[in-house]
Structure 1
Amino acid sequence: MDLTGFSINQMTVKQLSLPELVKGCVELGVPGVGLWREPVAEYGLAAAARLVADAGLAVTSLCRGGFFTAIDPAERAAALADNRAAIEEAAALGTDTLVLVSGGLPSGSRDLAGARERIADALAELGPYAAERGVRLAIEPLHPMFASDRCVVSTLSQALDLAERFPAEQVGIVVDTYHLWWDDRIAEDIRRAGAGGRIHCFQLADWVTPLPEGVLNGRGQLGDGAVDMAWFRAAVAEAGYRGPVEVEIFNDVLWARDGAEVLAQTVERYRGLLSA
């Protein structure tokens, strides 16, 4: 079955080196990869860009920027500088999408509203900078269990409230099934995002229970959990999204397996989703 538009996020098979990932994608007919800054930096930014381009693969996103919620001026300045670097890395890799994990509450703070306003302040500064380099900022809402330490943006509605302050070519959102499957407003918010041209990235991972002790790495392989993947795929398509479908799974059990086998399994699970 045609894999047009399919992308494998590097973290799904993080046990593979970048050359191994590229080789596996070419052999399986996977046309796109979502990359992460740390392994790209380890391999070398220019070398990574050449490797992926020479293989004919599209870089569908770069993870990650964000962490905008610090109160200390020096910490905020450092975060902005790091995000400018991330934007430049995305441009060098040939992707138009930088995924943002916005940041949790600063130590000792309980001010969610203030933290979200600091995110807006950062987007106001970074949005034009990114647009000048052909890069869009994509706010990723994370499940509410991550609000305190990783991301005070928990729903698609909250992400859109931030993104809609800026032009769509500067700031949009990520629809990630793992983080949003539970939200009873998700259908209307996907329509809202699509109407505004704000869906900049669409990611798949399943929700499995019981959650592991390390909750961050508890995303499930497609089809193993509670998420109606076919519904999400149809919803974003009906909202006008025509971009890549990227599978991003953080899972210690998958990472302990042979990476080539996990990659092949993920492709087959995705094929099953397409035929559902």
Structure 2
Amino acid sequence: MTDTRNDLSRLSINQETIKQWSLPELAEGCAKAGIGKVGLWRAPVQEYGVERTARLLADSGLSVTSLCRGGFLTATDPAERSRALDDNRAALDEAAGLSTDTLVLVSGGLPAGSKDLYGARERIADALGELAPYAAERGVRLAIEPLHPMFASDRCVVSTLSQALDIAERFPADRVGVVVDTYHLWWDDQAPDRIARAGAAGRIHSFQLADWITPLPAGVLVGRGQLGDGCVDFRAFRTAVEATGFDGPVEVEIFNEDLWARDGSEVLAEVAARYLEHAC
């Protein structure tokens, strides 16, 4: 068995983990640290320019493991739905321009005044029916990310891997899969079985790490913890994911204002050290 205790070759640093860094700073910092993979977000990439970002990362020897985010596909209003589909097509174009094969989807919450979770999930499936062929033409996979149930009302009606797979399995595995994110799934005792189900079909398109810390900070969206600061068993998750044959990137994605207030180089070094200590 390969000794991974000092191996950073699969580690990917999501851009939001060191949000205080510009794209050039991220590229330079990761290259200096010997980290060859990054996950990107659309807004800073759009600001810097997709082609310019692609050149920067290529010149730095970095590959893009995912682009976040597409999704928000639950609208009932026809015009709003049309705008969402157009935005997702643009996101797929951007992903292709960055040479990443994975667009992460945050599916969307309940429309205003609605309590129909089932109907919202069906609208996601309907939208993916339109987007999947477009994604395939660009060599990009759509990765449905289940979010913790506390986000179901406003951000993501897909809360479990089961729900994500029930949608993804309507499409070919090389077009639509799922994200396994420890922050969102650590609490679910069915997650190991669902990881096996996803992996058996080749539907694990992204594997992301962040810890769950309590009490949650005000504004739970930025409540993700540094690896090792909370209650997530990262090795158990990695063992379950890799038992399926998954050998892709392991992306650390942490939204945390305390990390964002610190020196970026210090945060990067800490993330790498915590990754080796807790997830390898």
Give the structure-2-normalised TM-score.
Answer: 0.97
Partner of 1:112: 117
CA distance in 2, matches of 1:221, 1:96: 27
Q: 1:147 to 1:274 in 2, by over 3 A?
A: closer
Q: Which amino acid aligns with 2:132?
A: G
Partner of 2:3: none
Q: Which amino acid aligns with 2:138?
A: R
Partner of 1:262: 267
Shift of residue 211 of structure 1? 0.4
CA distance in 2, matches of 1:256, 1:214: 16
Partner of 1:242: 247
Q: Which amino acid aligns with 2:25?
A: E
Shift of residue 234 of structure 1? 0.8
User: Which secondary structure state, in structure 1, belongs to the residue aligned with residue 103 of structure 2?
Assistant: strand
Find 1:232's aligned residue among 213, 237, 247: 237
User: Which secondary structure state, in structure 2, belongs to the residue aligned with residue 85 of structure 1?
Assistant: helix
Query: Counterparts of 1:69-218 in structure 2 under 5 Å?
Result: 69-218=74-223
| 2:44 is the counterpart of 1:36 | no
Ranges in structure 1 where 5+ consecutive residues have no aligned partner? none
CA distance in 1, matches of 2:65, 2:107: 20
Q: 1:68 to 1:274 in 2, by over 3 A?
A: closer
CA distance in 1, matches of 2:115, 2:247: 39
- Deviation readout 1:26-52 (Å, 9 max, x if unpaired): 111111000000000111111000000
Q: Which amino acid aligns with 1:130?
A: A
CA distance in 2, matches of 1:200, 1:31: 18
| 2:5 is the counterpart of 1:3 | no
Shift of residue 123 of structure 1? 0.5
CA distance in 1, matches of 2:221, 2:201: 31
Give the structure-1-normalised TM-score.
Answer: 0.99
User: Which secondary structure state, in structure 1, belongs to the residue aligned with residue 221 of structure 2?
Assistant: helix
8 A contact 2:234–2:279 mirrored in 1: no
CA distance in 2, matches of 1:41, 1:244: 24
User: Which secondary structure state, in structure 2, belongs to the residue aligned with residue 262 of structure 1?
Assistant: helix
User: Which secondary structure state, in structure 2, belongs to the residue aligned with residue 173 of structure 1?
Assistant: strand
Q: Which amino acid aligns with 1:14?
A: K
Shift of residue 274 of structure 1? 4.7
CA distance in 1, matches of 2:10, 2:133: 28
- Deviation readout 1:13-72 (Å, 9 max, x if unpaired): 010000000111011111100000000011111100000011111100000000000100
Q: Provide the aligned length of Structure 1 versus Structure 2.
A: 275
CA distance in 1, matches of 2:246, 2:165: 16
Q: 1:270 to 1:213 in 2, by over 3 A?
A: same
User: Which secondary structure state, in structure 1, belongs to the residue aligned with residue 259 of structure 2?
Assistant: helix
Ranges in structure 2 where 5+ consecutive residues have no aligned partner? 1-5
Shift of residue 2 of structure 1? 2.2
Q: Which amino acid aligns with 1:17?
A: S
CA distance in 1, matches of 2:178, 2:170: 12
Q: Which amino acid aligns with 2:230?
A: G
